[in-house]
Amino acid sequence: MRTLRTVTELRTAVRAARRQDPAGVIGLVPTMGALHDGHVQLIREARLACEHVVVSLFVNPAQFDAASDLAAYPRDEQSDAGQASEAGADFLFAPSLETVYPDGFATSVQLSGPLVETLEGAHRGAAHFHGVTTVVTKLFNMVQPDVAFFGRKDAQQVLVVSKLVEDLDLPIRIEAVDTVREPDGLARSSRNVRLSADDRPKALALRAGLLAAEAAFAAGERDAQNVHAVAVQAMTDLGVAPEYLALVHPRTLAPVTTIDGGTLVVVAAHVGGVRLIDNTTLGPDPSGRR
Ligand code: PAF
């Protein structure tokens, strides 16, 4: 695996790969580093589906709502490079802050509407997604991949990026990859390392809420309010109040009152000082996953 720092180095490498293998598919796995098994799974899927795999590593200040969260974000490029290489990446693109946002940078790529204004957008501010869509557009233009891989744990981000690609006619396929979990069910996240030993068991409250929703649905409950109530109860039983827990349409994120098709259950909560998110789907997934 080669590590590339500048757009010129990246373009030269990707161009050479395309010249050697004109039919070869270029896959991009965008990351902010602090790689864990969830990222490794994205890279492995990219390796299986693509001839050339680029992993980008850039902690994007524009998508952090709190300076303290940005400062606390774990960084370990050496470990990230080792994991990316082992999972099958050909190139690690690790640009500097100045490469991505040079002095005088003045452009923002922004979606509007419920996809960016509800749930994460309502609680973190829509600016979070504006930061994501701006950097993702830049990474797409820099790498010019055929396919890009994103984790389903960030379900709203997958919808936002898919809409960006659709609206701007970007010739890139978005692949969503299933959430990877710790053995006890906690969704893998770069933030998990910040959970204290005391808070770690409490972090299971998000999964407990989602499992309670799944169990209620499996038992025949179709009223979203009732499913919501049992899910919140399962969380509060573990001492965690959700920042939000919502049953929404899996494409539009519109609130659902009766679960009669696939329904996305999304949850966010602060455990100790760490903000975690997770989700599950009740009923048939519109992506045909189950
Ligand atoms: O999911 C992430 O890690 C980030 O939001 C992304 C897509 C790499 C953009 O900075």
Q: Is the pLDDT of residue 29 over 90?
A: yes
Q: Is residue 182 part of a domain?
A: no
pLDDT of residue 223: 98
pLDDT of residue 288: 53
pLDDT of residue 284: 85
pLDDT in tens, 184-225: 999 999 999 999 999 999 999 999 999 999 999 999 999 999
Closest residue by Cα to residue 79 from 122, 35, 124, 47: 35
Average pLDDT of the residues in 115-121 = 98
Read off the pLDDT band of 250 (50, 70, 90): very high
Centre of ligand 1 to C-alpha 31, Å, is 5
pLDDT of residue 290: 42
Q: Is 164 in the pocket of ligand 1 (CB under 6 A)?
A: no
Q: Is 33 in the pocket of ligand 1 (CB under 6 A)?
A: no
Centre of ligand 1 to C-alpha 148, Å, is 11
Whole-prediction pTM value?
A: 0.96
With the most atoms of ligand 1 within 8 angstroms of its CB, the residue from 54, 135, 277 to mutate is 135
Look up 249 and say whether it is catalytic: no
Q: What percent of the chain is helix, strand and coil (3-state, nearest 5)? A: 45, 20, 35
List the residue whose alpha carbon is closest to atom 3 of ligand 1: 31
List the residue whose alpha carbon is closest to atom 5 of ligand 1: 132
Asked if residue 12 and residue 111 are part of one domain, the reply reads yes
Q: Which domain holds residue 219?
A: 190-282
pLDDT of residue 289: 54
Q: Is the pLDDT of residue 137 over 80?
A: yes
pLDDT of residue 149: 99
Check residue 55 and report its DSSP letter: E
Q: Which helix H or strand E contains 87, and what residues bound it?
A: helix 77-87
Atom of ligand 1 nearest to the CA of 30: 8
Q: Is residue 55 part of a domain?
A: yes
- List the CATH number of the domain containing 128: 3.40.50.620
Q: Is residue 63 part of a domain?
A: yes
With the most atoms of ligand 1 within 8 angstroms of its CB, the residue from 39, 56, 60, 179 to mutate is 60
Asked if residue 196 and residue 141 are part of one domain, the reply reads no
Asked if residue 107 and residue 205 are part of one domain, the reply reads no
Where do we find the tokens 């939000």?
Answer: 244
pLDDT in tens, 83-97: 999 999 999 999 999
pLDDT in tens, 32-74: 999 999 999 999 999 999 999 999 999 999 999 889 989 989 9
Q: Is residue 95 part of a domain?
A: yes
